[in-house]
Structure 1
Amino acid sequence: MTRKAERMSPLTTSPDQLDAADGAAEHPAAASPNAVLEQIERRTLWLATSMVHHANKVRPNRSGVKVGGHQASSASMTTIMTSLWFEQLTAADRVSVKPHASPVLHAIEYLLGTLDERWMTTLREFGGIQSYPSRRKDPVPADYSTGSVGIGATAPIWGAIARRFVESRTGVANRGRQYSLVGDAELDEGAIWEAVLDSAVADLGEIVWIVDLNRQSLDRVVPNIAATKLERVFDAAGWQVLTVKFGRLLEELFARPGGDALRRRITEMSNPEYQRLLRCDAAELRRRLPGDGADAAAIAALCDGLDDGTLLAAIRNLGGHDFDALRAAYAAIDDTRPTVIIAYTVKGRGLPIEGHPQNHSSLLSAEQYGELADALGERADAPWQRFAPDTDAGRLCAATAARLEREPAASASPPEVPADLGRTPTGTGTTQAALGRALLDLTRVAPDAAARVVTVSPDVSSSTNLAGWINKVGVWSTAERRDWFEDDGETLLHWRERPSGQHIELGIAEVNLVSLIGELGTTWSRWGQTLFPIGTVYDPFVERALEPWSYGMYAGGQSILVGTPSGVTLAPEGGAHQSITTPSIGLEQPECVAYEPAFVVDVEWTLLAAMGRLGRPGGRSAYLRLSTRPIDQKLADVPADPAARERRRRQVVAGAYLLRTAGTAGGRPDATIVTMGALVPEALAAADRLAAQGIAADVVCVTSAGLLFEALQARRGLGDGASWILDQVFPAERAAPMVTVLDGHPHTLAFLAGINRVPARNLGVSRFGQSGDLDDVYRHHGIDADGIVAAALDVLA
């Protein structure tokens, strides 16, 4: 046997090897209670490895770009996933699979018969199996989309809360475990600990994490992953901690003379030293394993009593590869609090690249693939074999498929959301305050729709004007809690916690907020129950939350995110809290409509329209950018005629409306001022000053730059949307030189000049600001009335 072939270890670690070493009679493999699971484990490893091999080594590669895949990362999870699927899971359970174990998931689906053979050759192919598990794009929808490291791992936490919230509304219990299969390198992500430490998580007993502690990252063996430190952190957060460190073979060796010394040696050696032992043949392992400490002789004597096969199997007999050890951990789960199982594993277990420090993205060569086929008893020329139905493994696969079969979620139409609440606000008001008022009005006008609203905030409920709404509907919790300030007359926000509440409060972590509204936004497709999740967050922190929120949309979560207060309009806060780039999110984020309304009635209309897009196939999320600036609501000039009012509403929802028309009837204006949100007063003031100079300027109020861009693309044949809004708001016969201005980056509206190909000047914010009053701050950035007038004169010149 060559050294390379000798390093390839069997996947099973039967105590029969110990018996053989002692001279006892060998027992047939079928006598082991784990024999069938071991058969399935080997076949799963083979199929997962073969999917990646075919994608990279067999399928033609026209572009020459590396296809990739993660054979080693899959191999470390094979035992864990085999034990979980074929012994533990029920139809009510859900599993988030670490991104790089995607091939293992599909291999199991194939063995269960839910994935057709034609898909096995399509990993990372256009229209085929995705690189990472996907709820919406894989042929067998994953329970949770993963791939954004850390975000998919925490998704079952928020899924558990969403499921409990639905239970509190329907009265129908639907409680299964929520598993996360987490790579140890994922624990470097801050999103992990923001979720683990949130107080809302401590009583979610259905949460079970299994950490694949293979102690390797993409580039190296991690020198100091300390499981004991991880155990302490999880324990401090109120989680049950179960550590599965060694398998049965090693545990039996530890009970022999010299076993205590061997345990200390393995436990105390560094991760890189341990990984190096996995690359040794038996002779080299006998030299290296005893070390040079005081226990070296005792360890060497123990090793001398073992044959080569047993010694090689023992050094890699970690708990994450031992069915008995894993089974014992599952049996010890405490369902009254979250549980983490820290399972020691070997990256690349059973592959020729086992334990290599750079095996993360390594691909088996054709020669190595052939050797693996021989070692596992498979055929490289016919890799896609299922178990025959009349075999023990085939019967277990069939029984598992039947046990995990789910009834399709009953589809229920979302409640009807009104288009208009019927109010015409007067006086002064802010778009931020309009949010809470609109939600309260909804309880009166459309109680069925209001009952499906769930608001979420990261400890900023009062400062985002949700206090009135919270007082009305209460705070959701798994059990009712006493409000000790209920009789305090000076307390304006009443914190009444009960299962019927409709507001969920998290700690101040934006990633948790958007992850939760994303999962609340999937209940329509998971369980046939539509919710209208609305999260509020300070607009400057939307970018911090954007990646996980985007990933929630990718996974099918439809929700509304409200960013408020926004821009440099929160002048006294200064540059530390201004938001510049958030207005362009609606231009760039797939499956999301962004609105920046200027008036209270615009908030109501856009909010209702956004709610009307949630909870349905083809639905879209929404982002509302709101402001704390008080604005005279008479400036909105809302038409009194019902038909004219409805026309205005449709324009607001579609992206823009003509707020002021200049010039004679039917005449072309000299200029067009286009503005958005809080800067409407400056735009109107500039139009008045231009009029005093004999320059007629239309004023257009944009509510959604993204929808206008979609309309422009549709007009050019590059999209499927309607373009009517451009004809109504930017008609060719009124085309004139343009000035765009907003409290955000000027590029957001710059494309509008291309509608009618007019010259333009684009004003906005493109540098950090400082504290001050509104006039000073607007003047600093050149977005005050002076700046608009000057830009108009420049573009006309």
Structure 2
Amino acid sequence: MMVLDPELRAIGGNGTGGARAEELAVLEAVGQRVLWLSTAIIDHANRVRPNPSGLKVGGHQASSASMSSIMTALWFHALNPEDRVSVKPHASPVLHAINYLLGELDESYLTTLRAFGGLQSYPSRAKDPDPVDYSTGSVGIGATAPLWGALARRYVEGRFGGAGKGRQYSLLGDAELDEGAIWEAIQDPMVPSLGEAVWVVDLNRQSLDRVVPGIAADRLQGMFAAAGWQVISLKYGHTLRELFARPGGEALHARIDAMDNPEYQRLLRCSAEELRERLPGTGSTAGPIADLIAPLDDASLLAALRNLGGHDIGALTDAFDSVDDTRPTVIFAYTVKGYGLPTEGHPQNHSSLLTSDQMRTLADRLGTDPDRPWAAFAAGSPEAARCAAAAGRLHRPEHAPQQVPEVPADLARPAPTGSGNTQQALGRVLLDLTRRAPEAAARIVTVSPDVSSTTNLGGWLNKVGVWSPAERPNWFADDAETILHWRERPTGQHVELGIAETNLVGLLGELGTTWSRWGQPLLPIGVVYDPFVNRALEPWSFGIYAGGQSILVGTPSGVTLAPEGGAHQSITTPSLGIEQPGCVTFEPAFAIDTEWCLLAALGNLGRPEGSSAYLRLSTRPIDQSAADVPGDPAARERRRRQVTAGAYRLRRHERPVVTLAAMGALVPEALAAADRLAALGHGADVVCVTSPDLLFRALQARRGLSRDPSWILDQVFPADRATPLVTVLDGHPHTLAFLSTVQNTPVTTLGVTRFGQSGSIEDVYRYHGIDTDSIVAAALDLVD
């Protein structure tokens, strides 16, 4: 029987003579070691390491195997030091195997996958001990992150320098293309110009539970092409292409092309004898196909069926070398899930694990010792030399961190009087910073999904301009009726995206990592309608997890935008900061409080110990004199410290019998209720809560459960003034319910628990039971 050239079958590629053949042979050997190491890392975590609880550990051997060749070709051939890679979550063991071969991961960590303090289940910038460019794990979000990373790099390079160039790679599974975040990102107007973006789709046609019956790769490729991307399809390797060129090859090519995914996967599970029977199919082409494969020995036949482009090192290196850097590129690399493992192609192999016997058989086939699973390549071998050369090539110099310019704690403006709202204060503070603290203001970059003018960023935008990679003409510059001046230029400090909150927070997260990537800190602020914060929460949370420090502003908020009704209300957002690690939430009531909270949030960005912030703002006009800001400098500073610590006592009665704790837009109702209660003979203190998050942390600290400061509790809720408590806010009442535990007092919590209605503020507040009457009634129930 005919045997296909073993070198062609093993390494594929176009052209196998001389130096090229040697290079591909070495890369193939490195790839086999990567496959072994990634499989062994998972095996040790599940079969070798003690597991007293018996809880499943997992690790995805099959998903890792399908990526081994792709990642080998990328790291050991294509990558440059300034390139960055987002690795699909289930291929994290492959990344760790590669880092080990590059000398970036100590051998002791190879036994710690999914162990406490060890290698994380999915790549993590913050928690893994080896280099990880992008945290992944939430499907679709890690894949799109390099797009926003590319924009962040361009922004830093254009304004401050030092970010260099480099490609931004995404390695993603084909099932991730089901995620809407993918397509929201692809169609954003900013993306088509990102020539440094390269996506590689691991097209193994399997999801967690099954073989995907109609993945429609041609349709997916067409969607990318329509969005302006270069599309490269790596469907078949060199061995199959060689067969296609022989007599009967066109029939085999057409047969495999027309075959649906489940049938192809089933053929992968066949013996050579079964394959000779099934592969030709039926009809007029069955004979030519049978004649074509008849001379092949069994091993060659089985290998040929598996010779897809995503496992062909030669095809992969050629693809990486042919990327067009003038536009984004997507490479559809056809693969077999579990490639090279006994479980390859099985529809339920996603969570399967190799047995001890299977591991020994695999080790024998790959030329490794199962009793010394972490052995490195022999010194002086071509493979060891290749690893050393790649390590040297990919060495990334560290960027000296630039200190964040000081953000003033107080702009020293007189406290506003008259009517105003917190959303207006946002725009005014940003403009004031350009005059009072220009160095800090130069680091601010705002991001908005087409709501700049409606969230009071117009003045800021007119001042600093809109960021664009290249200057664009402003055709309305001479239009006297145009108030918003849309000047697009590389020096602009506002980035305008399409209407997709996921894109906004994705970019926000990457802008917030520039301090750790290139040593250039930015102060990113994203503005979004508060009702849609929940839509943006997952990717923003993931950005925080990955080290991105930013400020998310939700405005307008709550049922206070009464005429707009239930579709635009936000109920649960006030408690997000309590529940979101790495973030502080603020909901100020007055313009001066907004200023102080925003400045405090900006001062926490762009540093190793920094944190993100969420500001919930309102468009409700409020009498600013009600803030009663002290005129004495020391008293004013005391008030500022209290505001940025979570709360302050706004009204202090001589003999209080009840305390009204209100937040944000509901403070006027609390003050009015206090006046009415006083007229009824019931003294009421009024506490203005600016951050339920910080108050909760203070409470935890007082109980010894954290190291946060707790002094604010003694100043705002002293024991000698402990009274029954009524809490009220434009959001879910549970947000402030914990305040009763500060002094263990009775409490009634008022807030929004139902979908809203359109109407006046008075009608809507009454409907939800957060109006003045409801506050008075709740207080009387507690004290009368």
**What TM-score, normalized by structure 1, do the two folds share?**
0.96
Cα shift at 1:141: 3.1
2:612 aligned with 1:625: no
- Of 754, 767, 780 in structure 1, the residue corresponding to residue 741 of structure 2 is 754
CA–CA separation in structure 2 for the residues paired with 1:165 and 1:502:
9
Match of residue 199 from structure 2 = 209
Match of residue 249 from structure 1 = 239
Structure 1 residues 55 and 11, CA gap change in structure 2 (3 angstroms)? farther
- Of 300, 308, 315 in structure 2, the residue corresponding to residue 318 of structure 1 is 308
CA–CA separation in structure 1 for the residues paired with 2:747 and 2:486:
51
CA–CA separation in structure 2 for the residues paired with 1:418 and 1:525:
23
Match of residue 594 from structure 1 = 585
CA–CA separation in structure 1 for the residues paired with 2:640 and 2:689:
13
Match of residue 386 from structure 1 = 376
2:101 aligned with 1:114: no
Instruction: Say whether the 8 Å CA contact 2:11–2:25 is kept in structure 1.
Output: no
- Of 319, 338, 346 in structure 2, the residue corresponding to residue 348 of structure 1 is 338
Instruction: Say whether the 8 Å CA contact 2:11–2:24 is kept in structure 1.
Output: no
Match of residue 785 from structure 1 = 772
2:259 aligned with 1:266: no
Match of residue 66 from structure 1 = 56
2:298 aligned with 1:305: no
Q: Deviations over 1:615-647 (max 9, x none)?
A: 011211000000010000000001000000000
CA–CA separation in structure 2 for the residues paired with 1:333 and 1:204:
13
2:170 aligned with 1:180: yes
What SS class does the counterpart of residue 722 from structure 1 fall into? coil
Match of residue 670 from structure 1 = 657
- Of 234, 241, 249 in structure 1, the residue corresponding to residue 224 of structure 2 is 234
Match of residue 543 from structure 2 = 552
Instruction: Say whether the 8 Å CA contact 1:675–1:740 is kept in structure 2.
Output: yes
What SS class does the counterpart of residue 35 from structure 1 fall into? helix
Structure 1 residues 523 and 620, CA gap change in structure 2 (3 angstroms)? same
Structure 1 residues 199 and 112, CA gap change in structure 2 (3 angstroms)? same
Cα shift at 1:426: 1.1
Q: Deviations over 1:433-456 (max 9, x none)?
A: 110111000001000000000000
Which amino acid letter does the alignment assign opposite residue 15 of structure 1?
A: L
Cα shift at 1:581: 0.4
- Of 40, 57, 67 in structure 2, the residue corresponding to residue 50 of structure 1 is 40
Structure 1 residues 762 and 583, CA gap change in structure 2 (3 angstroms)? same
Cα shift at 1:31: 6.0
Structure 1 residues 13 and 782, CA gap change in structure 2 (3 angstroms)? farther
Match of residue 575 from structure 2 = 584
Match of residue 278 from structure 1 = 268
Instruction: Say whether the 8 Å CA contact 2:528–2:553 is kept in structure 1.
Output: yes
Structure 1 residues 13 and 178, CA gap change in structure 2 (3 angstroms)? farther
Structure 1 residues 259 and 540, CA gap change in structure 2 (3 angstroms)? same
Match of residue 719 from structure 2 = 732
Cα shift at 1:17: 8.4
2:8 aligned with 1:15: yes
Cα shift at 1:119: 0.3
2:116 aligned with 1:129: no
Match of residue 700 from structure 1 = 687
Structure 1 residues 113 and 598, CA gap change in structure 2 (3 angstroms)? same
Q: Deviations over 1:194-243 (max 9, x none)?
A: 11111100101000000000000000000001111011100111111111
Structure 1 residues 13 and 607, CA gap change in structure 2 (3 angstroms)? farther
CA–CA separation in structure 1 for the residues paired with 2:394 and 2:227:
32
Instruction: Say whether the 8 Å CA contact 2:104–2:131 is kept in structure 1.
Output: no
Match of residue 82 from structure 2 = 92
Instruction: Say whether the 8 Å CA contact 1:205–1:335 is kept in structure 2.
Output: yes
What SS class does the counterpart of residue 770 from structure 2 fall into? coil
- Of 426, 447, 452 in structure 1, the residue corresponding to residue 443 of structure 2 is 452
**Aligned CA-pair RMSD:** 1.7
- Of 353, 362, 377 in structure 2, the residue corresponding to residue 372 of structure 1 is 362
Which amino acid letter does the alignment assign opposite residue 621 of structure 1?
A: S
Between 118-127 and 363-372, report the one with greater CA deviation. 363-372
CA–CA separation in structure 2 for the residues paired with 1:511 and 1:551:
11
CA–CA separation in structure 1 for the residues paired with 2:712 and 2:357:
62
Instruction: Say whether the 8 Å CA contact 1:13–1:249 is kept in structure 2.
Output: no
CA–CA separation in structure 2 for the residues paired with 1:644 and 1:17:
77
Cα shift at 1:350: 0.2
Match of residue 492 from structure 1 = 483
Which amino acid letter does the alignment assign opposite residue 136 of structure 2?
A: T
Cα shift at 1:14: 2.8
2:621 aligned with 1:637: no
Instruction: Say whether the 8 Å CA contact 1:13–1:322 is kept in structure 2.
Output: no
- Of 646, 649, 656 in structure 1, the residue corresponding to residue 647 of structure 2 is 656
- Of 412, 423, 447 in structure 1, the residue corresponding to residue 402 of structure 2 is 412
CA–CA separation in structure 1 for the residues paired with 2:150 and 2:317:
24
CA–CA separation in structure 2 for the residues paired with 1:229 and 1:563:
37
Q: Deviations over 1:109-157 (max 9, x none)?
A: 1111111110000000000000011101000130000011110011100
Match of residue 317 from structure 2 = 327
Structure 1 residues 298 and 409, CA gap change in structure 2 (3 angstroms)? same
Runs of 4+ in 1 over 2 A off after TM superposition: 10-19, 26-33
Match of residue 461 from structure 2 = 470
CA–CA separation in structure 1 for the residues paired with 2:419 and 2:262:
66
Q: Deviations over 1:267-312 (max 9, x none)?
A: 1100000000110110000001000122111100001021111110
Match of residue 91 from structure 2 = 101
Match of residue 417 from structure 2 = 426
Q: Deviations over 1:172-205 (max 9, x none)?
A: 4600000000110011011111111111001010
Match of residue 501 from structure 1 = 492
Instruction: Say whether the 8 Å CA contact 1:566–1:579 is kept in structure 2.
Output: yes
What SS class does the counterpart of residue 34 from structure 1 fall into? helix
Cα shift at 1:381: 1.6
Structure 1 residues 179 and 11, CA gap change in structure 2 (3 angstroms)? farther
Structure 1 residues 537 and 383, CA gap change in structure 2 (3 angstroms)? same
What SS class does the counterpart of residue 199 from structure 1 fall into? coil
What SS class does the counterpart of residue 7 from structure 2 fall into? coil
CA–CA separation in structure 2 for the residues paired with 1:454 and 1:597:
22
CA–CA separation in structure 1 for the residues paired with 2:606 and 2:617:
24
Gaps of 5+ in 2: none
Structure 1 residues 750 and 12, CA gap change in structure 2 (3 angstroms)? farther
- Of 556, 559, 562 in structure 1, the residue corresponding to residue 553 of structure 2 is 562
CA–CA separation in structure 2 for the residues paired with 1:299 and 1:426:
86
Q: Deviations over 1:465-509 (max 9, x none)?
A: 101100000000000000101111111111100000000000000
CA–CA separation in structure 1 for the residues paired with 2:11 and 2:749:
78
What SS class does the counterpart of residue 139 from structure 1 fall into? coil
Cα shift at 1:28: 13
Match of residue 82 from structure 1 = 72
Which amino acid letter does the alignment assign opposite residue 45 of structure 2?
A: A
Cα shift at 1:35: 1.1
Instruction: Say whether the 8 Å CA contact 2:78–2:321 is kept in structure 1.
Output: no
CA–CA separation in structure 2 for the residues paired with 1:244 and 1:285:
23
